[in-house]
Structure 1
């Protein structure tokens, strides 16, 4: 088993962390599974949303499995563990469908970075957020000093990464990181996801691209995706493709 499962609930995909023996900490197999699942979600045109959940444990996700990276040489750690994890979390963040993290317990290190890669977050009242990497001699490596700063600001990230402070659910909600605090975060997250069945999936997708472009989340790709979608919906595009196939000069209608 990979430790991270993809479960379909009609138009909602569930990404479920399932490594409770290690507090759902990320292993290389889990990173590979997350990347593969994100690719499968993008290919499935029937899906409207993603909910990230975790098997019951004392943590939603305790971060990265220390046993998986502690024996790596510095160059290998930087080139593979950090960069691979960053690429995979970026893949989640840039899904064309919205994602909601259901944080039922503590989200530390990579677990917090995973939640930050989602579009919205629901937290249980007792859940906390932390960046404890300095305690084991490393630094956040999967966007904790980048995407998380854009979401909650430099001072708060410094509190966690430099001074080791934890952020509780109430404060996370007050500063906008958590959109809701709920006794049953999984149910609340699924309710959010299921509301998307009543709205235009294309409008939601384009709105997500526009917002990401505004905050610098892969801005170049977001702008080109928007431009490509606009151009692809024109009669000019149809005429250009037809002319190429028929080996003739195109006669663009300008619409």
Structure 2
């Protein structure tokens, strides 16, 4: 069985972390599963994605310490950290909105994974934390970078330097989560349904434009939008036809 499952129900997909015995701690296999599922989602007609955990106590407790603790410092930096970044960036850049259903605690890499989501719903009893300095490491999957765009500097430093947890009320007040609900998955599904009912192309373009405003993949976003416009133009149709027919293109020629 996959360590991360993907279920597609019409226009809504659900990604579920399936490592409940370790509070959904992320392993290399889980990161690779997430990457594979991103391939599927990028080529699908899904309009919204829900990302959640199988365990009721934890959305994700972070990276699997037993796995990464065995790595040499070089392999830790080259493979573990960079793999997580590649996968998390792919999740953040999916064309459709991603909603994090934080059904339990989100710690370390789990909070960094939640930060990749466009929207987040959190249960009242869940907490958020960056505990890495307490075990002699630092946040490695964008905790000091992407979260810096989502939290005030003093709050991020409080979490990363002192290891303090943030509860649901404070997370909501800070704007880190959009909603606090007893059933985070149900609330996330309701939000996903609202998104799925709207124009899919407009939703994708709006997400891309907002990401560019926050300097998230701006270069690719600009070229993707430009390519989208031209790919639907009469110029593209004429250019491709001229290439196939081995003739000079007649741009703007309505005759």
Aligned pairs, how many? 254
Matched, 1:71 2:70: yes
Q: SS at 1:14's partner residue?
A: strand
Determine the structure 2 residue equivalent to 1:10: 10
Determine the structure 1 residue equivalent to 2:252: 253
State the Cα deviation string for residues 13-46 of structure 1 (Å, max 9, x = none). 10001101001000110000000001100111x2
Q: SS at 2:16's partner residue?
A: strand
The normalised TM-score by structure 1 is 0.97
Matched, 1:128 2:140: no
Determine the structure 2 residue equivalent to 1:153: 152
Structure 1 segments (4+ residues) deviating >4 Å: none
Tell me if structure 1 keeps the 8 A contact 2:12–2:196: no
Matched, 1:87 2:86: yes
Determine the structure 2 residue equivalent to 1:143: 142
Tell me if structure 2 keeps the 8 A contact 1:104–1:186: yes
Tell me if structure 1 keeps the 8 A contact 2:101–2:120: yes
Tell me, which stretches of 5 or more residues in structure 1 are unaligned? none
Tell me if structure 2 keeps the 8 A contact 1:235–1:254: no
Q: SS at 1:122's partner residue?
A: strand
Tell me if structure 2 keeps the 8 A contact 1:23–1:61: yes
Distance (Å, rounded) in 2 between the aligned partners of 1:233 and 1:152: 39
After TM superposition, list the pairs within 5 Å mapping 1:94-105 onto structure 2: 94-105=93-104
Tell me if structure 2 keeps the 8 A contact 1:236–1:254: no
State the Cα deviation string for residues 73-102 of structure 1 (Å, max 9, x = none). 111000000000000000000000001000
Distance (Å, rounded) in 2 between the aligned partners of 1:79 and 1:192: 37
Distance (Å, rounded) in 1 between the aligned partners of 2:253 and 2:82: 44
State the Cα deviation string for residues 233-255 of structure 1 (Å, max 9, x = none). 21111111111111111111289
Q: 1:240 to 1:104 in 2, by over 3 A?
A: same
Q: 1:26 to 1:254 in 2, by over 3 A?
A: farther
1:196, CA displacement in angstroms? 2.1
Determine the structure 1 residue equivalent to 2:61: 62
CA RMSD of aligned residues (A): 1.2
Tell me, which stretches of 5 or more residues in structure 2 are unaligned? none
Q: SS at 1:217's partner residue?
A: coil
Matched, 1:220 2:219: yes
The normalised TM-score by structure 2 is 0.97
Q: SS at 1:152's partner residue?
A: coil
